[in-house]
Amino acid sequence: MTRSMLLGAALLALVACRPAPQTAGHPAGHTGHSQNEAGTPSSVLSVHDARVVAVPPSVGDTSVFGTLHNAGPAPLRLVGVQTDAASHGMLMVTQTDPAGLTGMQDTPALTVPAGGDLTLSDTGDHLMLMGLRAPLQEGQTLTLTLTDDAGGTHTFDAPVVKP
Ligand SMILES: [Cu+2]
């Protein structure tokens, strides 16, 4: 990974996770997640304190935070997120390189440990919604669906709140 790529990611993180009144750049090379038509509902995953960060109408992307709890006996590997409110969702990790630059980048999967939690926050793993179809309104609720690597789907609601 080059330093310029990390810097780009850091700039995107600044825009997307601490929204500024300008349009966030879109990570190069990212394509939409495929949808799993055969997805089956699963109840091992519960989502607590889910929230979508309110952004100004000029900002087309936002972040989703909360706590994911896996009640099942096996790790749950999440491979996608989608919502009707955005053109596509991304799974993100936040990393600091040896030079001390911190940035986020998309990742193919986020794993919720068996019987444990994965916390989604602006300084760690989180979800992002890219290409919002309409300006977000505070107090509005979005419905999001996480897909796991076995094709299971996990749907939850998240209110839009101030960062
Ligand atoms: Cu982010």
Query: How many other CB atoms sit within 10 Å of the CB of residue 5?
Result: 14
Ligand 1: centre distance to CA 104 (Å): 6
pLDDT score for 70: 97
For 80-112, the pLDDT digits (tens) are 999 999 999 999 999 998 999 999 999 999 999
User: What's the 102 CA to ligand 1 centre distance in angstroms?
Assistant: 12
Closest CA to 91 of 75, 77, 76, 105: 105
For residues 63 and 121, is the Cβ–Cβ distance under 8 A?
A: no
CA of 20 to the centre of ligand 1 (A): 13
Looking at residue 43, its pLDDT comes to 78
Q: Give me the phi and psi of 73, to 5 degrees please.
A: -85, -5
Residues contacting residue 57 through CB under 8 Å, at least 6 positions apart: 135
Is the Cβ–Cβ distance between 60 and 112 less than 8 Å?
Answer: no
90 CA distance to ligand 1 middle (Å): 9
Q: Angle at the Cα of 56 (from 141 to 19), degrees rounded to 5? A: 100
**Residue 129 confidence (pLDDT) above 50:** yes
Q: Over the stretch 8-22, which tens digit does the pLDDT of each residue have?
A: 544 444 445 544 343
User: CA angle 91-92-93, nearest 5°?
Assistant: 140
In angstroms, what is the span from residue 71 Cα to ligand 1's centroid?
26
Residue 51 has pLDDT above 90, yes or no: yes
DSSP label at 34? P
The DSSP bridge pattern shows strands 76-83 and 86-96 to be: unpaired
Identify the residue with better confidence: 86 or 32: 86
Q: Determine the distance separating the centroid of ligand 1 and the alpha carbon of 92, expressed in angstroms.
A: 6
